[in-house]
Amino acid sequence: MTTKFTPDHEYIRVEGSTGIVGITPYAQEQLGDIVFVELPVVGKTLKKGDEAAVVESVKAASEIYAPVSGTVTEINPALSKEPGLVNADPENAGWMFKIAITDANEVETLLDADGYSELTL
């Protein structure tokens, strides 16, 4: 399992040809209390960089972008009832959607943990 990051503060945890996408702990801290999450439709095809979801907090609304190209295979249904999971556990219970990765090479263009941590200093 590999986890990579975007400069826009999304993470993707890669398991085989599937990516689990959400926002980083840093991103959720910057947003504050999450009050609503709009998730993509299962079956939607995304290109790397496409708007995939929207997170609304008490401070602002923020777009979530697809870290890689692929097709949405699953969404996290718990977020519709409990969007605060993104704050409480962004990298586990607060994941947003799963994507079937169509170009594995795109994963290699993303930041590793060290590269991402340099962005958030």
pLDDT digits (tens, 9 = 90+) for 37-93: 999 999 999 999 999 999 999 989 999 999 999 999 999 999 999 999 999 999 999
Query: β-pairing, 45-46 with 70-75?
Result: antiparallel
In this structure, what DSSP letter does residue 17 have?
T
Residues 24, 5: contact at Cβ < 8 Å? yes
The 10s digit of each residue's pLDDT in 2-24 is: 999 999 999 999 999 999 999 99
Which CATH architecture describes the domain 2-105? Beta Barrel (2.40)
Sheet-wide strand order for 70-75: 2-5, 10-15, 18-23, 97-101, 70-75, 45-46
In this structure, what DSSP letter does residue 109 have?
T
Query: β-pairing, 61-65 with 51-57?
Result: antiparallel
